[in-house]
Amino acid sequence: FEELPPEGWVRVRPEKSHWKNGFDVARPIIDSECTVTTCCLKTHAYGGVFTMSLKLSVGITHKNNMGELHGSHSNLRKMIAEINQAYSPSLIVLDGIEAFVDGGPARGTKKRARVILAGTDRIAIDAVGLSILKELGSNSEIMDRKIFEQEQIARAVELGLGISQPGQIEIVSDDKAGGNYASRLMDILSKA
């Protein structure tokens, strides 16, 4: 999106936002009939805490919006969730083959999760992703906080961007081993 001309951007001004004057979103995202997003499973050392489907949406905003986002330390994670009001993906695919469980986004401690998630709900994808990080063993910002108390997720729930509680999540697998893993993740989610 970096090479889009000025008319390739749309100013979005969500109600009750922490953004002072809204933010710019790439017009191809706004105009798309079907958007498939692909994200990874990572912790994020620079304020986001984790990078999954909600934080992926930072990439649809104009680089000139980054100063306000990164300069707003107390509201950064809420602002990440607020970007997601601009669009609704048709499908989200999370690559969790390998995950950062500490550090990130570029360097950190990696563990193999060997999982791919797919769904239509950003909050559910991120909640399951956080349960995977907890199952693998992660940093204190992940391990010591309940999943639905993470600011990105809590704000996304407030905004009605998807599910609002762990009981609304269904994890489906195609084999017994995957089903057993899904049960472990659901147990972690139930404590969220």
- Is pLDDT above 80 for 4? yes
Q: Report the pLDDT averaged over residues 110-135.
A: 98
Whether 156 is in a domain gets the answer yes
Q: Report the pLDDT averaged over residues 73-88.
A: 96
Which segment of 52-56, 59-63, 68-72, 81-85 scores lowest on mean pLDDT?
Answer: 68-72
- Is pLDDT above 90 for 73? no
Whether 8 is in a domain gets the answer no
pLDDT on residue 47: 81
Whether 144 is in a domain gets the answer yes
Residue 160 gets the label, from left (phi > 0), alpha (psi -120 to 50) or beta, of left
pTM for the complete prediction?
A: 0.96
pLDDT on residue 48: 87
- Is pLDDT above 90 for 16? no
pLDDT on residue 132: 99
Whether 49 is in a domain gets the answer yes
Domains of the chain: total: 1
For 45, the domain range is 37-56+76-190
Whether 12 is in a domain gets the answer no
Arithmetic mean of pLDDT over the chain? 96
Whether 67 is in a domain gets the answer no
Whether 178 is in a domain gets the answer yes
Whether 135 is in a domain gets the answer yes
